[in-house]
Amino acid sequence: MKACLSAIALLCTGLAAGEARGQLPALPEGALTRWVVGQPYEIVAYVTFEPAAVERWRPRMLRFITVEELAGSGVRWAADYLIEHPTHGHRGISFLEIVRAGSFTIDGLAPSWPEDGAVALWCARVAPSDPAMDLGPGRPLLLLDLWMPDRAYVASMLGKGHHAAYGDARLVRNADGSWRGSVEVAGLSVVAECTPAGPVTGGAGSAGMQALFPPLSSAARSVVRVAFAGHREQDCAGGSTWTIRGTHPLAGAVVLQPTVFEFGYDLIGGAYPQ
């Protein structure tokens, strides 16, 4: 899912979803499962992380894209980040998102979770270890973790060959239009506050595809390829915060600012053999 879920947001979602459906990129044939996500809201943080902490999760066919690599290719935020953190050039770049969807199904089956239940994903930017290797369509990402608050659904996902784990992930819209996200799992506590503000960007013209590779530590062996369209996006205003604590490798992440609120898109996907 794209980084990958305000009154204006709520009013626009129906229109955005309708506009997006005709512009979803075509997924390849041969999917083993089918994902459908509709009417999502999400808060997203882009974070740098210590690659050594998750090296055992990295499939040998992939390598982490580093901050130094991005800075050397002219990515402005990466160059600015290295000015502030000059010893972080070796760090990887990833995103953490907490997504609450109006509908979420895999092969037509929806999870059973609380009204404010959500999916939380931590994904790292990767590239093939061998530049000549073709990883297939979609921007490659390593799905380091995926948590959701439904043990039975997690078991179903594992049975279908997906990477997932139980976690108490929530996303709540407050009365003042701000959003509060949280993730509680063994060794990790995340609390995020986001007040969407400023212009809404994106819309019907935004579309793309991602390929989510499972970590080496997982029993999953399928790649989930997702296609999406219609993202609308706002920055989280000043005062918005992410607090990440614990012994999990994510606890050592550095959160980049601004963090982002996204909504109003459609997403489809499927699992494919590697």
Q: Which CATH number fits domain 7-265: 2.40.400, 2.60.40, 3.40.50, 1.10.238?
A: 2.40.400
For the segment 19-56, what is each residue's pLDDT rounded down to a tens digit? 434 488 899 999 999 999 998 999 999 999 999 999 99
- Per the prediction, the chain carries an average pLDDT of 90
- With a cut of 70, say whether residue 16 has pLDDT above it: no
Contact (Cβ atoms closer than 8 angstroms) between residue 187 and residue 247: yes
**Per-residue confidence at 8, pLDDT binned at 50, 70, 90?**
very low
- Vertex 140, ends 194 and 256: CA angle to 5°? 30
Q: Average pLDDT of 131-158?
A: 96
Show me where the domains of the chain are located. Answer: 7-265
For the segment 184-233, what is each residue's pLDDT rounded down to a tens digit? 999 999 999 999 999 998 877 788 999 999 999 898 889 999 999 988 99
For the segment 54-86, what is each residue's pLDDT rounded down to a tens digit? 999 999 999 999 999 999 999 999 999 999 999
Residues in contact with 194: Cβ distance below 8 Å, sequence separation at least 6, in sequence order:
43, 178, 179, 180, 181, 236, 240, 259, 261
Which residue is associated with the tokens 């049975």?
159
- The percent of residues above 90 in pLDDT, for the chain, comes to 82
